[in-house]
Structure 1
Amino acid sequence: MGLEAVVNEIREKGRKEVEAVRAETRAEVEEILKDAQARAAEIKLSAEEEADRAATHITNQEVSAANLVVKRQVLNAQKTLLDQVYSASLAAVGDLPAEFHEKALTDLLKRAAKEIKKGVVHANERDIPVVEKILGATKSLSGYTVGDPVDIPGGIIVESDDGDLQLDYSYGTFLSEVWESALKDASDILFA
C-alpha cells in the first residue's frame, strides 16, 4: 500500500472520529440544553408560585387594612352620632314644660330627704325659684336651704350641712346611667 492510501485511510479514520465526536458532542449539548430548560422551567414555575403567594399575601394585608380603616371610620361616625343623640336628649329634657320640672324637682327633693335630713340644694339658674317654692311649701323639706346655682341641665345636687355627703340627682347623671345601661340597645336601634 502506498503512502497516499495510508494517508487517505488515516484521513478517513480521522473524519469518522471527528464525526463521531461531533455527534457525541451534539448529543451531550442537547442533553445539557434539555436539562437546563427543565431547570429553567422549574425555577420559573417556582418563581411564579412565590410571586402569586406574595401578591395574595400583600392583597390580603391591604384588604384587611382597608377594612380596618373603614370600620374605624364607621365607629367614629357612630360615636359622633351617639354623642349628638345624647346631647339632644339632654337638651330635650331641659326643654320640657315647667310643670314637668316642678314635679321632678319635688320628687327628687323628697327622695334626697330620705338620705340627707339637712343640707343645701343646688339647681340650675332656671330652677332656683321652683326649688325655693317647693322648699317653702313642703314641711318635710324644712331642713334644706337653697345654695348657689350650678351648671346642670336640670335636677338637683344636695349636699349635707357638714359637706360629707353629696347626692347628684341632676338630669345629666340620670341620663348617663340610663345611657350606659342602654347604650347597646340604642346602638342596635340606630345602626341595625
Structure 2
Amino acid sequence: MSLETVVEDIREEANARAEEIRSEAEARADEIVSEADADAEEIEATAEREVEREIEQLREQRLSSAKLEAKQKRLEARRDVLEDVYEQAESELAALEGDDREELTRALLEAASEEFEAGDDVSVYGRGDDQELIESILAEDDDYEYAGEYDCLGGVVVESEGSRIRVNNTFDSVLEDVWEDNLREISNRLFDQ
C-alpha cells in the first residue's frame, strides 16, 4: 500500500468517524432540544395552572369579602330600622294622654306596690308632666307620696327608705324589657325571616 492510500484510508476513516460524531451530536442535540421543549411546556402548563389557581383564589377572596361587606350593610340597615322602631315606640309612649296614660301609670304603680309592706312610707317619682296625674292616683293611699321628678317617658319609680327597695316601673324600663324579650320576633316580623 502506498502512503497515499494509507493517508486516504485514514482520511476516509476520520471523515466517517467525524460524520458519525456529528450525527450523534445532532441526535443528542435534537434530544436535548426535545427534552427542553417538553420541560418548557410542562413549566408553562404548571405556571398556567398556578396562575389560574391564584386567580380563582383571589376571586373567592373578593367574593367572600363582598358577601361579608353586603352582610354588614344589611345588618347596619336592620339595626337602623330597629332603632327607628324603638324611637317611634318611645315617642308614642311619651305622647300617651288621658285615660290611656292614667290606666298604664296606675297599673305600673300597683305592680310596684306589691314589693312594699303596708305602712311603709313610700316615695314615688315620675315624669314632671305627670305630677298631677301621679298625685291624683296617690291621693287614694296615705302611705304613698309624690317625691319629685324622674327623667323618663312616663310611669313611676317607687322606693321606700325603710325597706331599701327601689322599683323602676317607668315606660322606659318596661319598653326596654319588652324589647329585649321580643327582639328576635320583632326583627322577624320587620324583615320577614
Match for residue 122 of structure 1 among 122, 125, 135: 125
Shift of 1:190: 1.4
Q: Determine the C-alpha separation between the residues in 1 that align with 2:77 and 2:131.
A: 38
Equivalent position of 1:161 in the other structure: 161
- Using the TM superposition, give the Cα deviation of residue 43 of structure 1 relative to its aligned residue in structure 2, in angstroms: 1.8
**Partners in 2 of 1:153 and 1:17 — Cα distance?**
113
CA distance in 2, matches of 1:4, 1:97: 138
Q: Deviations over 1:35-65 (max 9, x none)?
A: 1111222222222222222222222122212
Instruction: Kindly indicate whether residue 31 of structure 2 is the aligned counterpart of residue 52 of structure 1.
Output: no
C-alpha separation in 2, matches of 1:28 and 1:161: 108
TM-score by length of 1: 0.91
Mapping of residues 41-120 of structure 1, within 5 Å? 41-116=41-116, 117=118, 118-120=121-123
The 3-state SS of whatever aligns with 2:159 is: strand
After TM superposition, the score normalised by the length of structure 2 is 0.90
Deviation at 1:88, TM superposition (A): 0.8
Contact persistence 2:109–2:155 (CA under 8 A): no
Q: What is the alpha-carbon distance in structure 1 between the residues aligned to residue 177 and residue 114 of structure 2?
A: 21
> Shift in Å at residue 163 of structure 1?
6.6
Mapped partners of 1:127, 1:75: distance in 2: 38
Q: What letter matches 2:113 in structure 1?
A: A
Aligned residue in 2 for 1:18: 18
1:78 Cα offset (Å): 1.1
2:152, 2:19 → 1: CA distance? 110
**Aligned-pair distance for 1:86?**
0.4
1:5 Cα deviation after fit = 2.8
**Equivalent residues in 2 for 1:175-186 (5 A)?**
175-186=175-186
Q: For the residues of structure 2 that align with 1:150 and 1:44, how far apart are their CA atoms?
A: 78
Q: What is the alpha-carbon distance in structure 1 between the residues aligned to residue 126 and residue 29 of structure 2?
A: 102
Tell which deviates more after alignment, 58-67 or 181-190. 58-67
Matches of 2:185 and 2:114 in 1, distance apart?
33
Distance 2:125 2:68 in 1: 47
Residue in structure 2 matched with residue 6 of structure 1 by the alignment: 6
Does 2:151 correspond to 1:151? yes
Bigger shift: residues 104-113 or 77-86: 104-113
Q: Could you tell me how far apart the structure 1 residues matched to 2:191 and 2:55 are?
A: 35
2 CA distance for matches of 1:113 and 1:23? 115
2-side partners of 1:74 and 1:111: how far apart? 40
The percentage of aligned residue pairs carrying the same residue is 31
Instruction: Let me know the Cα RMSD of the aligned residues.
Output: 1.6
Shift of 1:110: 2.2
Task: Give the superposition deviation at 1:171.
Answer: 0.7
